[in-house]
Every structure is written in C-alpha cells, then in structure tokens.
C-alpha cells in the first residue's frame, strides 16, 4: 500500500471518528437525560405514567439506532472504505440495495454513465443511505421513492425524491444550514444528523424543495473541490 493511500485512510478514519464522537455525545447524552428524568419521576410517583414509559422506550430506541448507525459508519473505515475516492454509481447502488433489503421498498434509480464514474468521498454512501431511509419513511403507501444522478456543468447532482410527507422544517434546516449557523438539533433521526455532518464536512451544497404532487426533493451538488 502506497504512503499517500495510507495517509488518506488515516485522515478518513479520523474524520469518521470525529463525526461519530459528535453524534454520540450529542444524541446519547440527550437520550440518557430523558431516561434518567423519567425514571426519577416514576420513582417519586405511586402510579405508572404511560407517557413516561413511552418517553423511556423512545429514548431507548434512539440509543439503539445511534449505536447501529455509528457502528456501521466506523466499521466501514476499518474494512477498507477509506480509499481517497469511490465511484458515485457504486456508492448509490450500495445505498439503494441496503435500503431496499431492510425496508422492502422498491426505489427507482436513474443515472448517466458520466455521473456513475464521478469520484466521491466514500463516506458519502452513508449520507445517501440515511437520506433514502428518511425518504422511505415519509412516503405514502401508494407513493414512490426515486434517486437520480447526473452531471451538470461538471458537477455531480444526486436527486432524491419521494411522494408523501414533506421533509420536516427542522430537518431541512439541519441539512441546508451553513457551518456558522446555530441550529437546534432535533432529537432522534441519527441518520439525518450523520448525513448533515458528512455533507458539511465535504462542503456539498444541498437544496430542498417541495415535490409534485407531494413530498420533497433533496438535491446534493458535488463539485470537483468537494472530493
């Protein structure tokens, strides 16, 4: 293995660990605080509260999701996903396969050959996977989820669309806010938090708009300098 490739892998692994640390500190601290607070209330009360039990269970599920997502994110660095760039087509195909297998949802995919061979940071796969999961969650039973990749003026553009519910306003802000913007992080949705961190890390531009007749369209603009 050449020296520059080792350096790239070390830098990639460092970035992944830094992002993972941010998510774990932010998410787990909030969820554990919720559990401790609700348990204290139950201990001081003679009766069980359905609301308290629900809050504890929701926080526990958030912790489980955090562990699963961050484990996959860090494991991918250890197993050799830290190469300087991967082809966009391969990253998107892997993301689609994972989401389809775990959700049973069929995702429409359209791409052109030039975009498929566009080099991208390997961790972008996790961002695309998380955005697809979110799109599936917001899609109505009769709706659809699609993803397209194309080259526009030399930049790769990834477009994820769904028909159903729109992306929540706080999640739109999370994905599109600049680094110097003070954003309130919504509880849960660890995947979207990770996606926003990866997108911000590589300076990828994000645009969100309403879809027709319903749902949202999320576009990632990946330039040569983002790689």
Q: What is the pLDDT of residues 114-142, one digit of tens each?
A: 899 999 888 888 899 999 999 999 999 99
Mean pLDDT value across residues 65-74: 66
Domain shared by 111 and 53, yes or no: no
Residue 207 CA to its chain's centroid (Å): 15
- Quick check: 187 pLDDT over 60? no
Radius of gyration of the chain (CA): 19
My answer on whether 73 and 123 are in the same domain is no
Residues 63 and 145 in one domain: no
Q: What is the pLDDT of residue 81?
A: 46
Q: Which of 78, 97, 125 is the last residue of a domain?
A: 78
What is the pLDDT of the chain when averaged over all its residues? 81
Q: What is the 3-state secondary structure (H, E, C) of 165-227?
A: CCCCHHHHHHHHCCCCCCCCCCCCCHHHHHHHHHHHHCCCEEEEEECCCCCEEEEEEECHHHC
Tell me, yes or no, whether 190 and 105 share the same domain: yes
Q: Say whether both 48 and 143 belong to one domain.
A: no
Mind listing the pLDDT tens digit for each residue in 44-63?
776 667 777 787 877 777 77
Percent of the chain with pLDDT over 90: 38
Q: Are residues 160 and 186 in the same domain?
A: yes
Tell me, yes or no, whether 122 and 196 share the same domain: yes
Query: What mean pLDDT is predicted for residues 57-79?
Result: 65
Q: What's the CA gap between 180 and 171, in Å, rounded? A: 17
Assess whether 212 and 113 both reside in one domain. yes
Domain count, the chain: 2
Q: How confident is the model at residue 39 (pLDDT cuts 50, 70, 90)?
A: confident
Shared domain check, 95 and 143: yes
Residues 137, 52 within the same domain: no
94, 199: one domain = yes
State the DSSP H helix or E strand holding residue 162, giving kind and residue range, or none if neither: strand 155-162
**Could you tell me if 11 and 123 lie in one domain?**
no
Last residue within a domain, chosen from 48, 78, 108: 78
CA distance 177 to 213: 26
Task: Select from 22, 56, 78 the last residue of a domain.
Answer: 78
Whole-structure pTM value: 0.71
Range of the domain at 118: 86-226
Q: What CATH number should be reported for the domain holding residue 192?
A: 3.30.565.10
């Amino acid at each position: 293995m050449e020296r520059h490739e080792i350096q790239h892998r070390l830098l990639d692994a460092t970035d992944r660990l830094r992002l993972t640390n941010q998510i774990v500190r932010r998410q787990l601290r909030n969820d554990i605080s919720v559990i401790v607070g609700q348990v204290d209330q139950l201990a001081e009360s003679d009766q069980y509260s359905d609301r308290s039990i629900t809050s504890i269970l929701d926080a526990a599920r958030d912790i489980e999701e955090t562990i699963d997502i961050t484990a996959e994110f860090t494991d991918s660095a250890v197993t050799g996903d830290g190469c300087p760039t991967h082809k966009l087509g391969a990253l998107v195909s892997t993301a689609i396969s994972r989401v389809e297998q775990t959700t049973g949802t069929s995702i429409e995919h359209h791409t052109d050959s030039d975009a498929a061979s566009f080099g991208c940071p390997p961790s972008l796969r996790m961002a695309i996977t998380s955005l697809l999961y979110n799109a599936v969650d917001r899609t109505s039973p009769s709706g659809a989820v699609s993803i397209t990749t194309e080259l526009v003026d030399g930049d790769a553009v990834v477009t994820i669309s769904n028909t159903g519910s729109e992306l929540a306003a706080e999640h739109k802000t999370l994905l599109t806010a600049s680094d110097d913007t003070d954003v309130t992080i919504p509880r849960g949705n660890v995947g979207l938090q990770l996606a926003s961190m990866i997108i911000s890390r590589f300076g990828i531009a994000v645009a969100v708009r309403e879809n027709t007749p319903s749902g949202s369209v999320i576009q990632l603009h990946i330039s040569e300098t983002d790689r």
